[in-house]
Amino acid sequence: MDQPLRIGIVGLGAISGAYLSTFERLDAVRVTAVADALPGRAEAVAADLGVRALTVDELVADPEVDLVLNLTIPAAHAEIALKAIAAGKATYGEKPLAATMADARAMVDAAHAAGVALGCAPDTVLGTGVQTARRAIDDGLIGRPVAATATMVTPGHERWHPNPDFYYQPGGGPLLDMGPYYVTALVNLLGPVESVVGDASRTRETRVIGSGARAGETIAVDVATHVTGVLRHRSGALSTLVMSFDAVATRASNIEVHGEAGSLVVPDPNGFAGDVRLHALDGEWVTLEPSAGYVDAARGYGIADLAAGGAGPVGRASGDIALHVLDVMTSLLRAADEHAPVTVASTCERPPVVPLSTAPGGLRD
């Protein structure tokens, strides 16, 4: 990497602040332009950063933009990504890759045909939490992996979110909202998924907003709010997944991985770090020292990983992985609807483990 990857950001909502904070300390990337549906917001951010505020079309075509970072709503992911790809730009977006599998496949196919990189969050799996667990598995500390569990339980986002409607509309629900973190971690730990079976339920037809200007307002629930399933990995391991907006609390680990010679507790995949705990067959619980992953990682490290080129031209947070993760989740929802197993059509390869390091491409002085 001779020069920083020049980034143009489309969409300057709340999540953009996390990316901008990360970019300030990474050598591998540099923001050169921003765009937003609200021109005033783009102008304010541009002035603060000392970069240009452009329209979306201007940003996508700009010769000083190498990668378009798409932080818009999921429904707009495909449209903007396809424009960027057509202009010969790499593109990286927030999860999920797209609102539908058809759009996601179109994005991946277009990127492959154009020979440009396509990446997607979550990049939380690149931190020391999941990567240390991955290293432990690869090093044989639990023997042959046979099973995993992944559990996310909350009584519902309407309790704290002032505008929670989209969580309960098609494209929302606990699986598509939080599942990308958990399924991406499972794919990194155990490899791609071949088939799924599961079921789902919706305990309430309405929810009541608990905070903000709309507190007390009732909203409709149009999606399953509790989803459980079993994922059969290509390796033969079975992962049991529970994603709920209905249950109150749990003492279950976020993720556990069990092998013939030991078990691992993996930290929250919605974060980058956390303790990895190992119980060997004839031992007791011990906490593993970080052995892999980017130390003190934050949102945006997936882009820097791509820019640094350590994992090849697509990086470790690739569109191929994001497509497979979306396929796994939508296949599980289909299995629940049809009450039958579903074969997952897509596949991907486990990306290479992240060596224990500070940052892809280094930190700024």
- In three-state secondary structure terms, 17 is helix
> Residues of CATH 3.40.50.720 domain(s) within the chain?
5-120
User: CA 269 to CA 185: how far, in whole Å?
Assistant: 7
Confidence at residue 151, expressed as pLDDT on a 0 to 100 scale = 98
User: CA 310 to CA 98: how far, in whole Å?
Assistant: 26
pLDDT (tens digit per residue) in 53-109 = 999 999 999 999 999 999 998 889 999 999 999 999 999 999 999 989 999 999 999
Confidence at residue 237, expressed as pLDDT on a 0 to 100 scale = 98
Q: Which of 365, 364, 326, 319 is nearest to 345 (CA)?
A: 326
Q: Which of 104, 17, 105 is nearest to 69 (CA)?
A: 17
Alpha helix ranges (H) inside 115-244: 128-138, 173-190
> What are the φ and ψ backbone dihedral angles of 90, each rounded to 5 degrees?
-70, 155
Question: What's the DSSP call for residue 213?
Answer: T
Q: Does residue 25 contact residue 362 with C-beta atoms inside 8 Å?
A: no
Confidence at residue 137, expressed as pLDDT on a 0 to 100 scale = 98
Q: Does residue 301 contact residue 192 with C-beta atoms inside 8 Å?
A: no
User: CA 150 to CA 243: how far, in whole Å?
Assistant: 8
Q: Which of 93, 37, 88 is nearest to 317 (CA)?
A: 93
Could you tell me the CA-to-CA distances from 288 to 141, 196, 257, 351 in Å, in that order? 11, 31, 14, 22
Q: Concatenate the DSSP letters of all residues of 300-361 into one string.
A: THHHHHHHHTTT-TT-SSBHHHHHHHHHHHHHHHHHHHHTS-EE------PPPPPBSBS-TT
> Residues of CATH 3.30.360.10 domain(s) within the chain?
124-292+319-343
Check whether 313 has a pLDDT greater than 80: no
Check whether 37 has a pLDDT greater than 60: yes
Check whether 197 has a pLDDT greater than 60: yes
Mean pLDDT score, 30-39:
96
Q: What's this model's pTM, rounded to 2 decimal places?
A: 0.95
Average pLDDT, the chain: 95
Q: Does residue 278 contact residue 262 with C-beta atoms inside 8 Å?
A: yes
At the topology level, CATH places domain 124-292+319-343 in: Dihydrodipicolinate Reductase; domain 2 (3.30.360)
Confidence at residue 361, expressed as pLDDT on a 0 to 100 scale = 84
Confidence at residue 1, expressed as pLDDT on a 0 to 100 scale = 52
Looking at 3.40.50.720, 3.50.50.60, 3.90.1300.10, 3.30.2420.10, the CATH number of the domain 5-120 comes to: 3.40.50.720
Confidence at residue 364, expressed as pLDDT on a 0 to 100 scale = 77
Which of 6-20, 298-312, 339-353 is predicted least confidently?
298-312
pLDDT (tens digit per residue) in 217-243 = 999 999 999 999 999 999 999 999 999
- In three-state secondary structure terms, 60 is helix
